[in-house]
Amino acid sequence: MKSRTDYKLAPQRIKQLKNFLLRLKIDPEDLVNISESDLELKLQIINEALTHTSAQAKYNHERLEFLGDAVLRLAASEFIDRKFPYMKVGERSALRSQIVSDDWLASVGESIQIEEILIIGTKASKDSSALQTLQAEATEALIGAIYECFRDLHKIHNWLYQYWLVSSNKFLDDPYRQNPKSALQEWSQSNGLKLPKYEIEEITQHHGDPNRFFCKVYLEGNAIGKGWGRSRKLAEKEAAKFAMQYLSIKDYD
């Protein structure tokens, strides 16, 4: 880490960042038993991760978000290897895709109330539909910042283990393995039916709006599912999930 002398953090911001890190279960001694200059450097890096590009500051989250992407994938792979040593490679890949996804990052960011400590531009702060994207980007940048500060994946594991565990259990409890489109296609083929067809309508043009796209899925000309999403892909996924739930109920009628 290179020393930065071109800007200083205000005392109130230093206190805010320290308290925030302690909430993440970063070891207290790492923030206490170090020199004042080293502490400020670490907090400058954390502050960089929590400064969005919309704030137009000299240092922003982009560099650390790039680093955080690689750190997260490695740490998540280690978690899966330790927690599920006998899981097949295909299952590992599917699980990892869930616990490093933007949706997962946004949920972690929401749980730690990351938006309350973010430095963002005025326009971005008023765009409620972009909040989930901001949370995901900032959380990934924060992962990169923590690794750069301490060079210790153990701290990433300490922080994220509980979130990975909950998400992994949900994944393993899901009979469709978070991929209902594939499950629906397999179901239709196994029953000698044609492939499902998806019809998508763009309801709004607001980026990040969870109801931006509306999708209906048809099987043999019959509508069997519907769903909304902030992207076409997510709307299709929700429609397929609805359809699989409908078909499961129908099988027992």
The DSSP secondary structure of 113-162, one letter per residue, reads TGGGT-B--HHHHT-GGGHHHHHHHHHHHHHHHHHHHH--HHHHHHHHHH
pLDDT tens sequence across 143-182: 999 999 989 899 999 999 999 999 999 888 876 656 788 8
Residues 233 and 185 both lie in one domain: yes
pLDDT tens sequence across 2-12: 556 667 889 99
Work out the percent of the chain whose per-residue pLDDT is above 90. 51
Tell me which of 91-100, 123-132, 218-227 is least confident. 123-132
Task: State the catalytic residue, choosing from 65, 140, 236, 238.
Answer: 140
Q: What's the confidence (pLDDT) of residue 92? A: 86
Residues 213 and 98 both lie in one domain: no
Is 5 among the domain residues?
no
Is 3 among the domain residues?
no
Q: What's the confidence (pLDDT) of residue 176? A: 65
CA distance 247 to 180: 12
Residues 159 and 45 both lie in one domain: yes
Total-model pTM: 0.76
Tell me which of 125-129, 144-148, 175-179, 246-250 is least confident. 175-179
Residues 34 and 128 both lie in one domain: yes
Stretch 98-125: mean pLDDT: 90
Residues 142 and 186 both lie in one domain: no
Nearest by Cα to 47 from 12, 98, 71, 73: 12
Total domains in the chain come to: 2
CA distance 236 to 226: 8
Of 63 and 190, the structure prediction assigns the larger pLDDT to 63
Task: State the catalytic residue, choosing from 30, 69, 91, 127.
Answer: 69
Q: What's the confidence (pLDDT) of residue 253? A: 38
pLDDT band at 252 (very low <50, low <70, confident <90, very high): very low
Task: Find residue 219's DSSP bridge partners.
Answer: 222
CB atoms within 10 A of CB 208: 15
Residues 154 and 245 both lie in one domain: no
Q: What's the confidence (pLDDT) of residue 171? A: 85
Of 33 and 243, the structure prediction assigns the larger pLDDT to 243
Residues 50 and 131 both lie in one domain: yes
* 140 has catalytic annotation: yes
pLDDT, mean over the chain = 87
Residues 41 and 94 both lie in one domain: yes
Work out the percent of the chain whose per-residue pLDDT is above 70. 89
Of 74 and 25, the structure prediction assigns the larger pLDDT to 74
Residues 66 and 167 both lie in one domain: yes
Q: Are 213 and 230 in contact (CB under 8 A)?
A: yes
What separation in angstroms does the CA of 57 have from each of 5, 65, 119, 133? 15, 16, 9, 19
Residues 135 and 190 both lie in one domain: no
- Domain of residue 73, residue span: 11-173
Give me Rg for the CA atoms of the chain. 22
Tell me which of 5-14, 99-108, 237-246 is least confident. 5-14
